[in-house]
Copies of this chain bind each other. A is one copy, B any other.
Amino acid sequence: MKSTTSTSEKILDIAQSLVVAGGYNGFSYADISAAIGIRKASIHHHFPTKAELVSALVDRYRQQTGAGLKSLREGISDPSEQLQAYVNFWHSCIGDASLPFCVCAMLASEMQMLPEEVASQVRAHFHGLAEWLASVLQSGAEAGRFRLDNRPEEEAQIVMASVHGAMLSARAFGDPGLFIVIVAPQIARLQAPDRQGNAGQESSTHGR
């Protein structure tokens, strides 16, 4: 069977893993060159400048993400399960170290010194993801699967921040399992019809 992975795709693959590991300034053409056994100049043939390379990389990532999120919405009927599937995706990525950090979250931290063409794409990713989450949350709220304390757009921002913050903590502590420890309760809170998550509701034992 022939491997139909073109050279330029291989370049993007390794560049992506390098960006995820160390950000925009954390890799060089020489790194890619060494990783896929091709000369530096040949990489410049495919991607003349570093800005173009990373731009193409984020572009591809955004397309993949867009397609993935779209298929979640279309392939799963329950919005609550759509959200769960999104979280599960990152849970396994971080767990098996295949994509232990979101490319755009990584680049967002370097926002201030990114080439404008890259920065605007990172912004667009955040915008798109926030929209997707807000849409899922709203649908779920309408279907009675979510209980939102704030506007869907705000809850979406909260979920997104939790996911990114959880990625960061997992990385900082070197503990992949921390991701789901942080994110799961946040999701559960949205799904729970009431705080205890049980059917009845005794709560308020008072005491202050």
Contact = CB atoms under 8 A, between A and B. Distances in A.
A68 to B, nearest CB: 19
Interface stretch (A32-40, A82-90, A178-186): A178-186
A21 B112 CA distance: 6
A200 interface: yes
Contact of A185 (B113, B154, B163, B194): B154
Contact of A21 (B113, B197, B204): B113
A64 B104 CA distance: 30
A170 to B, nearest CB: 9
Interface string A73-105: 000000000000000000000000000010011
A122 B169 CA distance: 11
Nearest to A111: B171
A126 B170 CA distance: 11
A208 B204 contact: no
A106 interface: yes
A195 B205 contact: yes
A168 B158 contact: no
Contact of A109 (B158, B163, B171): B171
B168 A105 contact: yes
Interface of A: 21-23, 25-26, 101, 104-106, 108-113, 122-123, 126-127, 144, 149-150, 154, 157-158, 160-166, 168-169, 171-174, 178, 181-182, 185-186, 188-189, 193-197, 200-208
Given A109-B109, A111-B172, A185-B207, 14 more contacts: A23-B26, A108-B168, A108-B171, A111-B174, A123-B172, A144-B207, A157-B181, A161-B162, A161-B165, A194-B203, A195-B195, A200-B204, A201-B208, A202-B207
